[in-house]
Amino acid sequence: MHVLVSWDIKAEGAEWKELNEELKACLEGYSWVKPLSTLYIVQVEDAHDLLNLKESLTEVCRDHPKLIHFVMGPPVQGGNYDGWLPKSLWPAIRKRAEGAA
């Protein structure tokens, strides 16, 4: 199963980069692909993984409540994505959507 995660950081330069790295650190240990600037397709194994990911991201946001917002979609099993992306991204997206890390 997988979930979509995206965030918005209201900072610039080095501060934006630092906050983005904090958020990306929450994805460590998960298989993910980043098809857009701050949109991630993250493979999760179960509801426990999903909750841990949400809590990690929320903790970073709590530390910077006026600078970071994030949204996380519901978990999805399988599925197909369409859009306009470099061809090299589609195998990585399918890998996470199909659950084959």
Which whole-number Å values give the CA distances from 19 to 36, 49, 63, in the listed order?
A: 17, 22, 10
Contact 62, 55 (CB under 8 A): no
pLDDT band at 100 (very low <50, low <70, confident <90, very high): low
Tally of CB atoms within 10 A around 85: 13
CATH number for the domain spanning 90: value is: 3.30.70.240
What range does the domain containing 92 cover? 2-98
DSSP 48-100: HHHHHHHHHHHHHHHHSTTTEEEEEPPPBSS----S---TTHHHHHHHHHHT-
Confidence at residue 80, expressed as pLDDT on a 0 to 100 scale: 84
pTM comes to 0.89
Residue 5 has pLDDT above 70, yes or no: yes
Written as six digits, the tokens of 84 are: 């306009």
Q: What is the mean pLDDT of residues 78-87?
A: 90
For residue range 15-72, what is the model confidence (pLDDT) as tens digits?
999 999 999 999 999 999 999 999 999 999 999 999 999 999 999 999 999 999 999 9
How many domains does one find in the chain? 1
